Amino acid sequence: MRRAIISDIHGNLEALDTVLSDIETQGVDEIYCLGDIIGYGPNPRECIDRVIEHCRVTLLGNHDQGAMFDPDGFNVGAERAIFWTRAQLESPSDREGNERRWEFLGELPRAHKQPPYLFVHGSPRNPLSEYIFPEDIYDHRKLGRVFQLVDRYCFQGHTHVPGVFTENFQFFAPEEIDHEYALGDGKLMINVGSVGQPRDGDPRACYVILEDEGPESQSPRITYRRVPYDFETTIQKIHAIPDLEPYLGDRLRQGR
């Protein structure tokens, strides 16, 4: 079985379409999405439609939830973007499509368990909102507690920083492991990075291929894929929408 695992699309249609095209070249059986389809980016409706069409499992992200309910804990720019996103999803010009999108968002689960895998947006302890950052390897108390809730392998997003956490407090960025990792015996948390707003200094869209039960692979393996996309088009769209602050576009150039 080959799965593509994507996360944190954030309304960036150029990134999502480029990633979906790349996934088509990878012989993938199923696509999973770990949440934050919307928020920040200029194409929330189109991104939800793509996810409905292509993904077999989709989780709720904190920005998806923020668009449906009262957003809580977001900075000013992010909150304005959420209210603008909500307005797009309430626009009467596409009533039927928007009803379908609301219904889809309203039914998204916060976690998906499929042994030996757990899938969440944030963390096993707080699937929607907790951030597990690379620097948390120095907070043994926090990471130890979180790992207690992981049976074997947990896939997550939310920080937009891809990499592999081991239970003995190591973190490997994709470039440190040649973009590949055999999952092996210990527990792991695997951040799949962000499709639509990478924040590890690499502006290319990021996602993961998970391969298991293959004839040549004893233990499951992951591969990080980085895909260049036309972020100048996304930036232009963001700059043309007054409710989306310009930095939400500018940061796409830096991957920050």
36 vs 245 by CB, closer to Zn ion: 36
Segment interacting with Zn ion, rule: CB under 5 A, options 7-15, 107-115, 170-178, 207-215: 7-15
130 interacts with Zn ion by CB under 5 A: no
64 vs 211 by CB, closer to Zn ion: 64
| 161 DSSP β-pair partners | none
Closest CA to 74 of 87, 63, 89, 90: 63
Beta strand pairing call for 180-182 and 171-172: unpaired
CB of 96 to Zn ion, least distance (A): 28
Binding mask of the shown chain, residues 25 to 64, with x at each position contacting Zn ion by CB under 5 A: -----------x----------------------------
- For residue 17, give every residue at least 6 positions away whose Cβ sits within 8 Å of its Cβ, in sequence order, or none: 50, 229
Segment interacting with Zn ion, rule: CB under 5 A, options 6-14, 89-97, 133-141, 222-230: 6-14
Question: What does the alpha-carbon distance between residue 219 and residue 235 come to, in Å, rounded to a whole number?
Answer: 41
CB of 62 to Zn ion, least distance (A): 7
8 interacts with Zn ion by CB under 5 A: yes
136 interacts with Zn ion by CB under 5 A: no
Contacts to Zn ion by CB under 5 A: 8, 36
